[in-house]
Amino acid sequence: MRYYLGVDVGSISAKAVVIDTDSTVVAYCYKRTQGNPVTAIKEVLSDVQSKIPGEATIHACGTTGSARMLAGAMVGADVVKNEILAHAVAVGHLHPEAKSVIEIGGQDSKLILLQNSVPVDFAMNTVCAAGTGSFLDHQAIRLGVPIEQFGDLALKSKNSIHIASRCTVFAESDMIHKTQLGVERNDIIGGLCNAIARNYLNTVAKGKNLNPKVLFQGGVAANTGVKKAFERALGVELIVPEHFLVMGALGAALLASRSKKQQSFIGFSNCIDQKFESRGFECEDCPNLCEIVEACREEKVVARYGSRCGKWG
């Protein structure tokens, strides 16, 4: 039976999804990259391989995410697309009636607006990570609370506390100040969840109309406190899709299944066992001084990317 593989590699996590010819998810995996995306990609591939039949054939593969070029070079991808398109395709497949998508990952926040499952507008956060998963992780560690319990504790908040939402430095300083004043921990966590939603709506979604049906996906969608904060601010219920952690990888797999170019995938064993590394240099042929990345398999260059002019593409 034919299967299709999607791989999504971001700044914090790597995800892989395998779908069948009916576009049904048959295996998926989510892992933190721990600063080593090559190892993380091998681990998610090994995991999904163990969950599908041994005789299964990956007919096509797609990659997405901020490290999509690296992942594409590693696996021999047929399709390499940006995460906006990948997420939109996955949403169109699972929730074709959705018009707005809030996606908050490790260090990225995105808003995608759809009409008839086609992305017509989008926005992303810029340099500040105040409204992202990595900031929540950092605050959970500082407060001594497992991140998995963050949302439930926020819902137990009895008093509305304002936490600065403009940037990570102001937010953390405000939380420390509130702690020193003796404010209850649950109220601080609740205030932080409200700040995450407020920051997103005042920056990423500034000037945009979020029409229902609104989907909430990405790692932060698991936080019920942030979900509730968005629902209070928007006045609508947010839908968290079944595969909210791996929607980008699902979209990449769907794009691969629809691609005319197929069968470039080098195989699970070759991906997992290969000696793969990347190295970089600065191109000095013009004032752009582009940082070029060379992806090497078994010490042979298999891909170059990073040039604005396409010389090294």
Strongest mean pLDDT among 71-80, 130-139, 180-189: 71-80
Report how far residue 188's alpha carbon sits from residue 196's, in angstroms, rounded to the nearest whole number: 12
Phi, psi of 5 (to 5 degrees): -110, 135
CA distances from 256 to 72, 185, 275 (A): 12, 46, 25
- More confident of the two residues 230 and 141: 230
Report how far residue 119's alpha carbon sits from residue 106's, in angstroms, rounded to the nearest whole number: 22
If we measure between CA atoms, which residue out of 110, 61, 138 comes closest to residue 218?
110
User: Does residue 29 carry a pLDDT above 80?
Assistant: yes
Is residue 41 exposed (0-12), middle (13-18) or buried (19+ Cβ within 10 Å)? buried
pTM for the model: 0.86
Residues 151-171 have a mean pLDDT of 80
User: Does residue 82 carry a pLDDT above 90?
Assistant: yes
Q: Residue 112: beta bridge partners?
A: 101, 122
Share of the chain above pLDDT 70, in %: 96
Beta-carbon count within 10 A of 276 CB: 19
| Upper half-sphere CA count for residue 276 (Cβ side, 13 Å) | 22
pLDDT band at 165 (very low <50, low <70, confident <90, very high): low
If we measure between CA atoms, which residue out of 60, 34, 10 comes closest to residue 247?
10
Residues 39-48 have a mean pLDDT of 96
User: Do residues 264 and 76 lie in contact, with contact meaning Cβ atoms separated by under 8 Å?
Assistant: yes
Report how far residue 294's alpha carbon sits from residue 303's, in angstroms, rounded to the nearest whole number: 6
pLDDT band at 212 (very low <50, low <70, confident <90, very high): very high
- What does the pLDDT look like over 85-95, one tens digit per residue? 999 999 999 99
pLDDT band at 167 (very low <50, low <70, confident <90, very high): low
The per-residue pLDDT for 201 is 92
The per-residue pLDDT for 127 is 58
The per-residue pLDDT for 313 is 65
- More confident of the two residues 27 and 276: 27
User: Do residues 124 and 98 lie in contact, with contact meaning Cβ atoms separated by under 8 Å?
Assistant: no
User: Does residue 16 carry a pLDDT above 90?
Assistant: yes
Residues 235-244 have a mean pLDDT of 95
Contacts of 243 (CB under 8 A, 6+ apart): 17, 25, 28, 90, 94, 250
- More confident of the two residues 112 and 141: 112
Residues 267-291 have a mean pLDDT of 88
- More confident of the two residues 73 and 107: 73
The per-residue pLDDT for 1 is 80
